[in-house]
């Protein structure tokens, strides 16, 4: 009985080793094939991505150039309009003269002050500066 158990154990290990050897030999070939295909796919997708990126960059550069040119043209137009904005007219009546200047661009003054507002965000207190305009009466 011991010899049969020993023979069964040896036969089992022989079968396992044979199966492992066969499987590992197949895995290497399959792995090489899969690695080769994966490498080709990665190289192809990288080339396509580079091509798409190059095209997108070229298109973006062209659009940026157009936007910059349009912006420069608009800035020139605004500068021309602003240059003529300080036109003055004088009118005399009696001994007095009144000078009226039209289209003067100025800054609107909005009174107010920055206040530090502290709030609870659920985990900690958060402080930030917030502009508070004066109340209109």
Give pLDDT, residue 120: 92
Q: What is the 3-state secondary structure (H, E, C) of 95-123?
A: CEEEEEECCCCCCCCCCEEEEEEEEECCC
Separation CA 8–CA 4 (nearest Å): 6
Give pLDDT, residue 116: 92
The answer to whether position 116 is within a domain reads: no
The answer to whether position 59 is within a domain reads: yes
The answer to whether position 84 is within a domain reads: yes
The answer to whether position 29 is within a domain reads: yes
pLDDT in tens, 108-127: 667 888 899 999 999 999 99
How would you classify residue 126: left for phi > 0, otherwise alpha for psi between -120 and 50, otherwise beta?
Answer: beta
The answer to whether position 42 is within a domain reads: yes
Give pLDDT, residue 27: 56
Answering whether pTM is above 0.75, one says: no
Give pLDDT, residue 20: 75
The answer to whether position 137 is within a domain reads: no
- Average pLDDT by consecutive 10-residue portion of the chain (137 residues)? 75 78 65 76 76 75 68 64 64 82 70 90 92 81
Give pLDDT, residue 117: 92
Question: Domain containing 26: what range?
Answer: 2-108
> 100: Cβ–Cβ under 8 A, 6 or more apart, which residues?
88, 89, 90, 91
First-residue to last-residue Cα distance in the chain: 110
The answer to whether position 129 is within a domain reads: no
Give pLDDT, residue 7: 78
The answer to whether position 40 is within a domain reads: yes
Give pLDDT, residue 35: 77
What domain count does the chain have? Answer: 1
């Amino acid at each position: 009985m011991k010899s049969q158990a020993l023979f069964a154990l040896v036969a089992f290990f022989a079968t396992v080793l044979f199966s492992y050897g066969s499987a590992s030999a197949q895995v290497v070939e399959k792995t090489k094939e899969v690695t080769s295909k994966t490498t080709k796919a990665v190289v192809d997708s990288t080339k396509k991505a580079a091509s798409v990126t190059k095209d997108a960059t070229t298109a973006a550069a062209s659009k940026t150039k157009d936007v910059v040119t349009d912006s420069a043209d608009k800035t020139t137009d605004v500068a021309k309009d602003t240059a003529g904005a300080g036109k003055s007219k004088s009118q005399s009546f009696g001994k007095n003269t009144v000078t009226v200047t039209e289209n003067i661009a100025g800054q609107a003054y909005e009174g107010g002050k920055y206040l530090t507002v502290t709030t609870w965000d659920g985990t900690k207190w958060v402080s930030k500066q917030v502009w508070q305009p004066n109340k209109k009466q």
